Amino acid sequence: MVTIKHWLFICTLLGGILISNAQWVKGKNNGYYKVSAWSLVSDQHFTDTGKIDPNATRGLFNLNFYGEYGISDKLDAIAYVPFFSRTYQNDQISATTGEVIQEGEALNSIGDIDIAVRYSLLKRSNIAIAATLKLGLPTGNDAGGSDGSFQTGDGEFNQLIQLNFGVPFSIKKTSLYAKTFIGYNNRTQDFSDELHLGAETGISLFKKKVLLLGRLNRVQSLKNGDKSAINSQGSIFANNIEYTNLGGEIAYYITKKIGVSVAYSSAIDGRIIYANASISGGVFLVIK
């Protein structure tokens, strides 16, 4: 699993969620806009040694807006706004007596907002290269609830610099693409910096009515921060999180401009993060 803050950029993130091609800029006045929901319910987490341990069932739910707008033929503006974020824990019930050992709790707030710019470095018919600068704003709650462990953000301002490579191609008149990226995420508030790596492939089917995507992403902590990485309840906002994330998405174009999508993502290994799958779905609008 990934942090809410990083979801759209690495799950991209996970949940991931995006169906836009990060290597190809939109073009002046063109855009891609999406309203979606993302959910993760977890009863287990990866420890700092990579083993899986149980935890009290906790959930995270986001309603969010994502948008890309072409300022020019080479520059895009990007925003991710989780305008409603809910984190909650279910009642803990005794398996022997059926009594409630600990009552559940929930926290509602806005999540961490991301703003970014993407600049086209090279665009040819057979390759595209772009650079992205993303700023993660600490607008969420990083210490909510009765014990301070209910979070909708991590409380730090981060800056992600990313280099993206993309290649479009076709097989028997079927359109496909492949892309990869590498990024460095500088984190504040004594969080460790991170190395981000990822790859994605997609295929367009049924006269471009359906788009199928597959993603593989890796986040590696540089472990150069002093903030404690331990959270007894498990977390997706902890320091020194690491994971390899595998996911897929299907998008259906109702019209040439409007469509719906559903995505699924799961960590195949990790450190100090929840160990359950996440799902998302939304409605998008493409302006060309």
pLDDT (tens digit per residue) in 147-167:
888 999 999 999 999 999 999
101 belongs to a structural domain: no
18 belongs to a structural domain: yes
DSSP secondary structure of the chain: ---TTTIIIII--------S-TTS---TT-EEEEEEEEEEEEEEEE-TTS-EEEEEEEEEEEEEEEEEEESSSSEEEEEEEEEEEEEEEPPEE-TTT--EEE--EEEEE---EEEEEEEEEEE-SS-EEEEEEEEEE--S-SSBSTTS-B-SS-S--EEEEEEEEEEEEEETTEEEEEEEEEEEEEE-TTPPPEEEEEEEEEEEETTTTEEEEEEEEEEEE-----S----TT--SS-TT-EEEEEEEEEEEESSSSEEEEEEEEEEEEEESSB-S-EEEEEEEEEE-
- Convert the pLDDT of each residue in 23-41 to its tens digit: 679 999 999 999 999 999 9
148 belongs to a structural domain: yes
91 belongs to a structural domain: no
92 belongs to a structural domain: no
For the chain, what percent of residues have pLDDT higher than 70? Answer: 89
Mean pLDDT confidence for 3-9: 36
93 belongs to a structural domain: no
- Asked if pLDDT for residue 13 goes beyond 90, the answer is no
1 belongs to a structural domain: no
Q: Which domain, by its residues, includes 183?
A: 7-86+106-287
**CATH label of the domain that carries residue 18:** 2.40.160.40
- Convert the pLDDT of each residue in 88-121 to its tens digit: 998 777 677 878 777 889 999 999 999 999 999 9
| Number of structural domains found in the chain | 1
Q: What is the pLDDT of residue 92?
A: 76
96 belongs to a structural domain: no
